[in-house]
Each structure stands twice: as structure tokens, then as C-alpha cells.
Structure 1
Amino acid sequence: MTFLWILVGLACLGLSAVVLGWLFRFPLVALTRGELRRAMRGAPLMASFGMLVILIYAAVALLAPVLAPYAEREVIGAQYLPWGEGHLLGTDNLGRDMLTRLIYGARNTVGIALATTALAFSIGALLGLWAAAVGGWVDTVLSRIVDALMAIPALIFSLLLLTIFGTSIINMILVIAAIDSTRVFRLSRSVAQGIVVMDYIEAARLRGETMWRLITREILPNAMAPLVAEFGLRFCFVFLMISSLSFLGLGIKPPTADWGSMVRENATLISYGDITPLLPAGAIALLTVAVNFVVDWQLHRASGLKD
């Protein structure tokens, strides 16, 4: 019977996602023009739902001080208070409002993940495009260094480096960005190698274009579609990595609100049938799924395939 109720719940969630995606498509089409409008009109319902979820998360992160009923670190009552009128989702292990912590967690966890992904892409994409454009010993040396780094499991490598250099937010961003940039390097180099052999690249070389202009004006625009899709995937991996490190106690440090550490701090409630610790875990899962819906759509568009 429990399994049947789980199936019914999943079916209801799927139907709700389809309906919300269908409803959100109308304002998307109405507010866009030209090629973007045609793309939005042809977007799958799951991609529209993904964009809606991403928009909601972004709004919550930006408006956290306005939406949160209490201050991020304010203790409002006893530990593990049940859901009630004064604290809609109860309190955590220190008596802080769980709803407030969830809202601020969107700003902290998602914001740090976005900054880390942007840094990883800036490093990995530029080095990958440069290695493909220059070739020779530069390409060989960079590729072998990246191969060596990728041979080490990312989570274990992150734990090792954070243990050595400390677990501040800056160190965490730098460590995860450095590790994740190796994956971006491999993709950008692979894509660029198929571009640098084109005739227009040779023509640009003959015109005397500098390497920087060759990369930014000729190679990068033609490699943008797969890189944009990879950015979404990398964001998901970085987001999950930060949450995992926080759950293990080496990520975002208390009292800063973070979804990964919130699961660890309140995990004891699961033993009593309280689903409160599952709320930050669900927030992590929902954003990851939403981003993947949008990325799948972008990959489909970049491939040139038709439905």
C-alpha cells in the first residue's frame, strides 16, 4: 500500500510539473520576440517548468531579507519545535526558524555554486580554447596535467585540499573551481579542435589576428552552444559538491544557512517521522532536476535535431 501511495504521489508531482510548465509558457512567449520567441514557443513543457523553478529560486535568493520572517541567525524558540503558526516549518537544532534558514540557504548555496561554476568556466574554457588554438607542446602539457588531476576522485581531492588549506568559503570556491575546471578544459578543447581546422580560422590567422582575438572572436562564438549547455551541467555538479561538503562539515560553515548542513544538523528528526530534514534535500533535488530539464532542451537545440 505504501508503494502504491508513492506511485500516486509521483504521478501527481509529474502532472503538476506539466501543468505549471504549460501555464508558464504563455508569459514566456508573450514577453519575448523574434528567434527567442520561436524557441520559447517550441520549448518542451518540462523545460518551461525548469525555467519556472529556476526563476523562483533566483527570486527567493535575491529577496531573501524581504521574504524571510526572521533574521538568518536569530534564535526564536526551543529546539525542534513542530510546525506551527509562528514558525511554519518548525525550528532546527538551535531553535532557529527552518523556513528562514531555507530561504537564506537559497541565497548562500545557490549563489556560491553559481560563482564557483563561473570561475571554473572562466579558467577551463579559456585554457581549453587556447590549448586547441596553439597546439604543440602547450596543448600536450596542459592536457597531461588535466589528465592527472582528473584521475583523482573529485570529492576525495576536494576533502584533501580543504583539509590542507582550510574550509573558508573563499578556499572552497577556489578548490572546487580548480577541480571542476579540468572537466571544462576537456570539453572546450575537444569542441575547439573541430573548429580550428576550419577555413575561416585559417583566414583569420593569415589576416594577422592576435591569439586573443582569434579565440574570442572566431572560436568562442562557434563553440558557445555546447559550452552553455555544459555550464548548466557543471552548475549541477558544483551545487551537489558544495552541498555534499557542507553535509560532511567541510563546506559552508555555521551559522551561515546552507542546505547541505541543514540536512546534517536536523537528521535526527527523521527517526521520529518528521520530514523537516528532507525539505533542504528536496530543495537541492528540485533545482538539480530543473536545471537538467533546461540543459537537455538546450543540448537538443544545439544538436540541430528535430522532434
Structure 2
Amino acid sequence: MSSAALAPSRAPRARVLLAVAPGALLTLLALTGPLFAPRPMDEPVTAPYAPPGPAALLGGDQLGRDVLSRMLHGGSALIGGALAVAVAVTAAAAVLGCFAVLSPAVGRLVERGADLAILLPPVLGMMLLALAWPGGGRLAVMAAATGLGVPYAVRVVASAAAPVAASGYVEAAAAGGERLWHLALREVLPNLRATVLALFGLRFVAAVYVISMAGFLQLGPRPPAADWALMIRENAPGALLNPWAVVAPSLAVGLLAVSVNLAADALTPAARRAAVGTR
């Protein structure tokens, strides 16, 4: 094969890698951040809200702790929680959405449940579950984010699965006596890879938003835990003394959401082409 024939395939691959790299690097840095923290996350090293200096490159927080060290410790829990929520919501929505378009009874049940869940404001639902959960904390917020995210995601998957379920090869498999689970998981779901991948990116961003908002409202992790959203809330009163105590975690949350969303968007066309190729 000539180099001219290879050039068109290499260019899209390079663009995908460039789009995926920022999100992957930021996620890797956040997960491994505690290994590179220069100081313990709860050790006071400066005066409260001290400006950046040799003792603390990003200055001190409200208790004089190193902002940089707390930044490096605070990303792993947020990303881990958001990944868990995104995987749980996407998996549940993919299965329920496929079953809903193949079984009218299941479809009606899923649709009614989604209608009822959507009526509950997300912030109110998160607060109710987090406050009612024994001990509260991050696990309660993750459970709330998962429960509140599934109804929206199911509708997205069901909408994409409907034309696939009406296609000839699915009808032929049904006429051949294949069971419902086989039709949903072996015939319909493999052709929704592009939709599922895009949905995963969106649900990850939504989970970052929900978990961050919970931390800002102090419904998730509690002091003295290192958490990006909690750092914003704790250090807001001293933002004029040391802006980095608020700006740094704010930038980290924003860059994480944007970079992961761009990565999912870049991977979606490739997944769509692969899905089309399997039909």
C-alpha cells in the first residue's frame, strides 16, 4: 500500500490522539498526584492565605496548608467517583434502553420511571439522599448522581436503539426464536457503541459537576479532606489574599470536564465507523 493511501488514515488518528491526550494526561496526573505532592496535605507550612513563595508554590490556604499539595491530593477521589458514576449510569442506561425498545412492557415501565425521576430537581434529590444516607459523604453523593443520571441516559439510548431494533437482522433473529436478552445484548447493543461512548463522556462531565457541587455544598467530603470543590468553598473568603487557593482548584475542575468531553467527542466518530462496519 502506498504512502498516499496511508496518509488519510493517519491524519484522523493523529487528530484523535491530540484530542484525547490532554484529558488522559490530566486524569493520570490527578490519579497519581499524591505521589508528587511536596508536603503532607494537612501540614501547615505558611501563614493563612500566604501568597506563593518558596515554602508553598501556590501559597497557603485558610489554615496555612500548601495549596499545591492539597491540589495534588484532591483530584484522585473526584475522578474516581466521577468514573464510577459514569460507568454505572452508562451501563444501566445501555441495558435498560435496549430492553425498552424490544419489550413494550419494559419500555412502558422504564418510561414511567424516567418521567417520575426527571420531575425531581437534581439538587434537591442529591440533598435528600445525601442527608438521609447514614454518615453521608462521597458514597451518598455518588449514589445520588447515579440514580439521577440514569433516567436521562436511558432516553438517549432508547432513542438511538429504536431504529436498530426495527432493522431486518434483529427481526430475523427474533423470528428465529432468540431470547430477549440475546437480542438486546448481542444484536442491538453492539451497534450503539458510538452513542454509548458519547454518553459516557457526557455522564462523566455531569458526574464531575454533581460531585463538585456536592463538595461545594459540603454534602460530600468533609474537612480536612483534600477535595477540589471543597477547597473552593473553604478558601473563598481569602480569595483576595491568595487567589490561587480558589483559582487553582476551579481551573482543575473546568479543565478536567472540558478535556474529557473533547476526548469522548473525538473518539465518537471512530466508534461510529466501527459500528457501521459490523452491520
Percent sequence identity is 31
- Residues 115, 264 of structure 1: CA spacing in aligned structure 2 closer, same or farther, 3 A cutoff? same
- The separation in 1 between residues aligned to 2:193 and 2:33, in whole angstroms, is 32
Aligned positions of 1:225-304 closer than 5 A: 225-272=194-241, 274-299=243-268
Shift of 1:211: 2.4
Residue deviations 1:175-214, cap 9 Å, x none? 1101101111111111111111111111222333232222
Q: Which residue of 2 aligns with 1:17?
A: none
TM-score calculated relative to the size of structure 2: 0.86
Native 8 Å contact 1:120 1:181 kept in 2: yes
1:276 partner SS:
helix
Counterpart position of 1:39? 12
* Alpha-carbon distance in structure 1 between the residues aligned to 2:72 and 2:51: 18
Question: In the alignment, what sits opposite 1:22?
Answer: none
Corresponding residue SS for 1:255: coil
SS at match of 2:39: coil
Paired AA for residue 39 in structure 1: P
Moved more, 33-42 or 111-120: 33-42
Aligned partner of 1:81 in structure 2 is 50
Q: Could you tell me which of 178, 184, 187 is aligned with 2:156?
A: 187
Q: How does the TM-score come out when normalised to structure 1?
A: 0.79
Instruction: Map Cα deviations across residues 93-132 of structure 1 (whole Å, 9 max, x no partner).
Output: 2232111111122211111111111111122221111111
AA partner of residue 76 (structure 2): R
Q: Which runs of 5+ in 2 are unaligned?
A: 1-5, 274-279
CA contact (8 A) 1:133 1:192 kept: no
- Whether contact under 8 Å (2:193, 2:271) holds in the other structure is no
Contact kept, 8 Å, 1:269 with 1:275, in 2: the verdict is: no
Note closer, same or farther for the CA distance 1:155–1:195 as it changes in structure 2 (3 Å cut): same
Cross-structure match for 2:91 = 122
- Name the structure 2 match of 1:152: 120
Give the conservation status (yes or no) of the 8 Å contact 1:263–1:280. yes
Q: CA RMSD in A?
A: 2.4
- Counterpart residue number, 2:277: none
* CA apart distance, 1:300: 5.3
User: How far apart are the structure 2 equivalents of 1:75 and 1:81?
Assistant: 11
Q: Which amino acid aligns with 1:241?
A: V
Quote how far apart the aligned CAs of 1:281 are.
Answer: 0.5
Shift of 1:58: 2.2
Structure number with greater CO (CA < 8 Å, separation at least 6) is 2
Aligned mates of 1:249, 1:41 — CA distance in 2: 42
Which letter does structure 2 place at the counterpart of 1:150?
I
- In structure 2, the residue corresponding to 1:194 is in which secondary structure? helix
SS in 2 for 1:203: helix
Secondary structure of the residue aligned to 2:97 is helix
SS of the equivalent of 1:170 reads: helix
Q: Quick one: structure 1 residues 197 and 59, their matched pair in 2 at CA, closer, same or farther if it must change by over 3 Å?
A: same
CA distance in 1, matches of 2:184, 2:270: 24
What's the CA shift string for 1:134-190, capped at 9, x where partnerless?
A: 22x221121011011112221222112212225222222111101101111111111
Superposed, 1:2-21 pairs within 5 Å as none
1:164 to 115, 129, 132: 132
Structure 1 residue 251, shift from structure 2 partner: 1.9
Report SS of the residue matched to 1:195: helix
